[in-house]
Chains A and B, each alone.
Chain A
Amino acid sequence: MDHIASLLLGLGAGGVYAALALALVITYRASGVVNFATGAMALYTAYTYAGLRKGELLVPIPGLPKTVDLGQELGFWPAVAVSMLVAALLGALLYVLVFRPLRDAPPLAKAVASLGVLVVIQGVLAIRQGTVAVSVAPIFPAERWELGSVIILSDRFWLAVTVVVLALVLAAGYRYTRFGLLTRATAESQTGAYVSGVSPDRIALVNWMISAMVAGIAGILIAPVSPLTPVTYTLFVVPALAAAVVGRFQYLLPIVAAGLAIGMLQSEALSLVSDVSWMPQTGSAELVPLIVILVALVAVGGGIPARGGLIRQKLGRAPRPRSLLGPAVVGAVVGAAALVLTDGTWRSAVIGTFIAAVIGLSLVVVTGYAGQVSLAQLALAGTAAYSLSTLTEDWGVPFPLAPLLAALVSTVIGVAVGLPALRTRGLTLGIVTLALAYAIEAVWFRNSEIVPSSGARVTPPSMFGIDLGIGAGAEFPRIEFGLVCLVTLVLVALGVAILRRSTLGSAMLAVRANERSAAAAGVNVVRVKVVSFALASFIAGLGGSLLAYRRGVVSFDSFTAIGGLALLSTAYLAGITSVWGGINAGILASSGITFIALDRWVDLGEWFQVISGVLLIVTLITNPEGIAAMGHEIADRWARGRAGGRPADAGAERPPVAAVEPAAVAPATGTALRIDHLTVRYGGVVAVSDVSLRVERGTIVGLIGPNGAGKTSVIDAVTGFAPATGTVELAGRRINGLAPHARVRAGLARTFQSLELYDDLSVEENVSVAARGRRHADRRAGVARALAGVGIGALRDRPAGELSQGERQLVSIARACVADPDVLLLDEPAAGLDSDESALLGDRLRAICASGTTLLLVDHDVNLVLNVCDHVYVLDFGVVIAEGPPDTIRADRAVAAAYLGTMHDAEAVTA
């Protein structure tokens, strides 16, 4: 019975999570922003309300008085009305000033901007209102209702009821009003809204106002129960995000249920601590959101449904480092000089810069390269810091073994953190990792059973009798420790640069760009994700160990979940996709030299945090891909200028096709690919119906048909990208049921209609993603052969994004050829080519076939197919309507009719 009581006690917090989750979903659906500042917005309205009840109106603008005296204390309803007005204004302001300018920015940029908003609101309120808790008069009667043995607090009950009613009103509003209809429509397709004459901007604006009011209601409701302080309210967003994930950022009523459930489970978890001995003494409540998210991901699967935008969104270029040794030496010299030339606070800031840069580089690996949004990197650094304490103080493990072991601990935990990434991606993953960081902080770092309240001591490092510690008193900070940090940073930076140039690095970028095409290139996507989390955690662990040595005593405030959010913001802004960006992140970090410089020279005092938040937002609006993107452009221009103005004309010289000597391959016979009774269904639509094809070894077989005939569906089904029934045999071996990358390794390659090249990677790297072979030299030779085979050897070093459509087609074919597949499926390789290019392509396809690869060619260019192929199948409405040698097909009237759709004057056409 106690359980029911404690569950019911959680109704209050649960109601607030539910309301905040509603606010989160409204802004996400309307504008694609996962608004981490939702809790902060609730806080602002709550302060406004509290002020109004005391007869004061809050004024946030610096320079003006903190409040305006209204002359009388407002009653409940007038205060609520004015607060709602203020909230709506805040929502409108945020949309117009921050999120409307970012509407076409990558989702991560929008989320980072909302972190900026969080910092600004929290900072302004901390300055203007102070951090002393403000208590507010109760709204609901506080009574104890006893139902049998169960006690219910009436105020919690009414709070929950209010939120449920609010949710019902919102759900009905979005269901039955015209505005609701327009909101649902724009959330599904922005293009659809535009061509329907609806402005998605205006809809988004109103939704931001509604969302701010809903968040405000949450703030007002909880104010009497939980006294107002800036930090607690801001963190309400974590359980609210968990509730929103449960409802897939879409369904309002499940979201409310999830929010209430989280609040109740937290309350129950707190009460269990006293009864059940194995429950952790602290942090059990913080574990609840994480567990709820993980259960929801396993049960419902998927992530946040993508919103239909106009522009394809990306993370930013990840340029390949031009050289390694030069920058490493220059960086080391500059770093050493900075250590020698400074002392005291400044040297300490230089050391702080090095350490933050190491942790920033861990984000470059996991998020910048592999595209997995991780908000847990700082928490992972923390796990290493605490492990280091145990390793050095309790077990006496010496330097440098201890920090390496500590980093390994982070690696193990990091791989566990990365496991949800196998089921989800993008910002959902970010939310999961945030919940994890939040849980680790509470369960481990703040746990007084494990960590003494004075913090965890770390033995200073020393090697060969030399003291490498940071020292104390007048000695602090010692240059030796700075050198340890610098060496670590240089080694990590070199490692990350080498990673970017390696096959693994290319595979990571391939996964980031497009998991489908990465799998088609034979990349094991699961393995790459796990490895990138492992590497990044190891690096974060090294950074955490250094931070522990620097502090001497580890305490939780270095590794909070909020700090993790700030770290991602800084790293994103600094340029998350390159080594330079990672180091930049160190310079910009709050422990780095920029912070000290600003503090010393400009003396922003208490406004520093607010101004840095504003700067973050302004920089994002002007550079949605971070400031390093600007640097990359300058570097590119410089490199191009140095190359003597050699412009993009390398593709103009087309080497003669005859240059490719058909390798003397014995004319093998037999069926290379055999497809029987293949059927593909999407929902209720049968895209491919009982199709059987034979592709004989050493031939080129064509598959043609009008748009929508099911050609691409056949390729998708054969290569494992679409679920299908029927059998697929590759050289007599059944391969249906294998994962896509496993089919590639069995000798079946494909290209995509949309090419799916990795625009950030050079042509050579694009192709080498798919190259296999144990030795680097083997892979390079294979890549060179594949490029020469399609005649684009000269384009080797150009980024794929710069090439013409025809050249891109050839890169995509070279990528598919590099592993010497037995059978290659080509999906529309002539799309976007002119007739000359198309004829040239035909010659190259013959050469590829002559060198031992059997081809299945799908194309709209019927002329090309009929000229190149030995045998042709014609597909219409998912069924084979004709097959035979090209001449037969050319004469087949049904084919012409299917193609031109001209049944009434087919004579005129075929004549």
Chain B
Amino acid sequence: MSARLECRGLTGGRGSTVVFRDLDLEVQGGTVLALLGPNGAGKSTLLSTLAGLLPARAGEARVDGVALRSGNPVAASRAGVVLVPDNRSLFTTLTVEENLDVARSRRGPAPRELLDVFPALEKRWRLHAGALSGGEQQMLAMARALVQQPKVLLIDEMSMGLAPLVVETLFATVRRIASDHGAAIVLVEQHVRLALDVADEAAVLNRGSIVLRGAATDLRNDAKRLERAYLGELEVAR
């Protein structure tokens, strides 16, 4: 079976600096890949490149075998690649409903159907997105991605600035999205433990290259290797 998302020799960066080079990666539909690594490893840049917000320098990314046009966010979106950016990029002056309305397509689900996945948004439905709590904003950002029926869902730093309990709920939802929607999910995350719990596979990106890759269960049980890949970033755990 060919992978839902497949990268071959992908190289990219911001401005004049190359941030990651020559990456090979594949993610099957219905599975979650946790993309781990220290600050500045190039995780967010990789997601932005996949979403077409930044041009690739070399290599290519394919969705269901069809190559994506580099640096074209509209084409990426049409191919089913949807990004949940780390700053969420919500429309804070629009209501929750309007945020979802912007992203929905004629053939896709109606905004209200997303309440099945995020029931907490129900009572915020007519509030401006800017008035939501951090957790609710993150739910809205995820809902806005889901309303587009993504084939490939890229989630950047979902837990940033959120209370642990909220984060746990969100991770459970990610798991459900993968199995219910059959999307290939790439999860960039700092909370290593939680990410490994939810993911099927994990890859550690450090200084622009994948330095470790394996099944999430294996890495969970092999903290030593993970730590080495992080170069001491996890030492607080000791």
In the complex, are the beta carbons of A182 and B102 less than 8 A apart? yes
Distance A902 CA – B195 CA, assembled complex (angstroms): 10
Q: Name the CB-closest residue of A to B230.
A: A835
**A462 within 8 Å of B by Cβ?**
no
8 A-B pairs besides A181-B98, A195-B82, A198-B103 with CB distance below 8 A are A185-B94, A185-B98, A191-B89, A193-B102, A197-B77, A862-B235, A862-B236, A909-B237
| Contact residues of A between 665 and 717, Cβ < 8 Å to B | 683-684, 706-708
List B residues 53-110 near A (Cβ within 8 Å).
Answer: 53, 73-74, 77-78, 82-85, 87, 89-94, 98-99, 101-103, 105
Residue contact A835 to B232, C-beta cutoff 8 Å:
yes
Given contacts A181-B98, A805-B40, A863-B233, contact A834 B161 (CB under 8 A): no
Q: Which of B74, B84, B231 has the most CB of A within 10 A?
A: B74
Give the distance in Å from the alpha carbon of A832 to the alpha carbon of B164 in the complex: 25
Inter-subunit contact A197/B105 (CB<8 Å): yes
Please tell me if A149 contacts chain B, counting CB pairs below 8 Å: no
Q: What residues of A have a CB within 8 angstroms of the CB of B40 in the complex?
A: 805, 831-833
Q: How far, in whole Å, are A832 and B144 apart by their CA atoms in the complex? A: 31
Cβ B101 vs Cβ A905 within 8 A: no
Contact yes or no, B191 A901, CB < 8 A: yes
By the criterion CB–CB under 8 Å, are B102 and A196 in contact? yes
Contact assessment for A896 and B194 in the assembled complex, using a CB-CB cutoff below 8 Å: no
Residue of B99, B102, B190 with highest tally of chain A CB at under 10 A: B102
Known: A191-B89, A192-B91, A199-B74. Is A901-B164 also a contact (CB below 8 A)? yes
Residues of B within 8 A of A902 (CB): 191, 193-194
Given the known interface contacts A181-B101, A191-B85, A707-B160, the answer about A900 and B90 at a Cβ–Cβ threshold of 8 Å is no
Produce 1/0 per residue, B122-150, CB < 8 A to A.
Answer: 00000000110010000000001100100
Interface residue B12 (Cβ < 8 Å from any Cβ of A): no
Q: How far is the CA of A896 from the CA of B10 in the complex (A)?
A: 36
Interface residues of A in 880-902 (CB under 8 A from B): 890, 895-902
Q: Which residues of A line the B interface, CB within 8 A?
A: 178, 181-182, 184-185, 188-189, 191-199, 201, 308, 310, 683-684, 706-708, 805, 831-835, 860-863, 866, 877, 890, 895-905, 908-910
Across-interface contacts of A308 in B (CB, < 8 A): 89
Partner of B233, one of A706, A861, A901: A861
The 6 closest A-B pairs by CB, nearest first: A708-B161, A196-B103, A192-B89, A194-B73, A197-B77, A832-B40
| CB of B19, distance to nearest CB on chain A (Å) | 11
Instruction: Check B93–A188 contact: CB distance below 8 A.
Output: yes
Q: Do A863 and B232 touch (CB < 8 A)? A: yes
7 contacts across the A-B interface (CB closer than 8 A): A185-B102, A194-B77, A197-B78, A308-B89, A835-B232, A897-B164, A901-B191
CB of B186 to closest CB in A, whole Å: 14
Flag whether B13 is at the interface (Cβ < 8 A): no
**Interface check B163, CB cutoff 8 A:** yes
CB–CB B192/A834 < 8 A: no
Q: B78, A188: Cβ atoms under 8 Å? A: no
B189 to chain A, nearest CB (A): 10
Is B162 in contact with chain A by the CB < 8 A criterion?
yes
Interchain nearest-CB distance for A891 vs B (Å) = 10
Cβ of B39 under 8 Å from chain A: yes
Which residues of the other chain, A, contact B91 by a CB distance below 8 angstroms?
184-185, 188-189, 192
Q: Let me know if A197 and B148 touch, CB within 8 A.
A: yes
Q: How many residues of B contact A (CB 8 A)?
A: 54
Q: How far is the CA of A582 from the CA of B238 in the complex (A)?
A: 61
Closest residue of B by beta carbon distance from A863: B235
Kindly state the separation between the CA atoms of A308 and B93 in the bound complex, as whole angstroms. 13
Give, as a whole number of angstroms, the nearest-CB distance from B63 to chain A.
14
Q: Are A832 and B39 in contact (CB under 8 A)?
A: yes
**In whole angstroms, what is the CA distance A896 to B235 when docked?**
11
Q: Nearest A residue to B207 by beta-carbon distance?
A: A834
**Smallest CB gap from B191: residue in A:** A901
Which of A178, A181, A833 has the most B CB atoms < 10 Å from its CB?
A: A181
CB–CB A192/B93 < 8 A:
no
Please tell me which one of the listed residues B51, B167, B207 contacts residue A901 in the complex, with CB atoms under 8 A apart: B167
Interface pair B236/A905, CB less than 8 Å apart: no
Please state if A860 and B39 are interface contacts (CB–CB under 8 Å).
Answer: yes
How many Å lie between the Cα of A904 and that of B84 in the bound state?
A: 26
Hey, which chain A residues are within 8 Å of B30, CB to CB? Answer: none
Cβ-based interface call for B52 (8 A): yes
CA–CA, A833 to B232, complex, Å? 12
Give the complex CA separation of A516 and B63 in angstroms. 43
> Which residues of B are found within 8 Å of A683, using beta-carbon distances?
130
Asked if residues B85 and A901 are in contact (CB atoms below 8 Å), the reply is: no
On chain B, the residues within 8 Å of A684 by CB distance are 131
Residues of A within 8 A of B87 (CB): 191
Give chain B nearest CB distance to A325 CB in angstroms.
33
- Chain A positions within 8 Å of B231 at CB level: 834-835
Task: Using CB atoms, name the residue of chain B closest to A190.
Answer: B89
Residue of A nearest to B157 (CB): A707
Is B31 part of the binding interface, using a Cβ–Cβ cutoff of 8 Å?
A: no
Chain B contacts of A862 at CB under 8 A?
235-236
The closest CB in chain B to the CB of A193 belongs to: B102
B159 at the interface (CB under 8 A from A): yes
Chain B residues closer than 8 Å to A708, beta-carbon distance = 134, 160-162
Whether the pair A197, B82 counts as a contact (CB closer than 8 A) is yes
Contact (Cβ within 8 A) B236 A896? yes
Chain B 161-200, CB-CB to A under 8 Å as 1, else 0, gives 1111001100000000000000000000011111000000
- In the complex, which residues of chain A have a beta carbon less than 8 angstroms from the beta carbon of B131? 684
Residues of chain A contacted by B236 (CB below 8 angstroms)? 862-863, 866, 890, 895-896, 899-900
Contact with A along B28-40 (1 / 0, CB 8 A): 0000000000011
Please tell me if the beta carbons of B164 and A903 are within 8 angstroms of each other in the complex: yes
The interface centre, meaning the residue of A310, A890, A900 with most chain B CB atoms within 10 A of its CB, is: A900
Q: How far is the CA of A23 from the CA of B145 in the complex (A)?
A: 33
Say yes or no: B77 contacts A184, CB within 8 Å: no
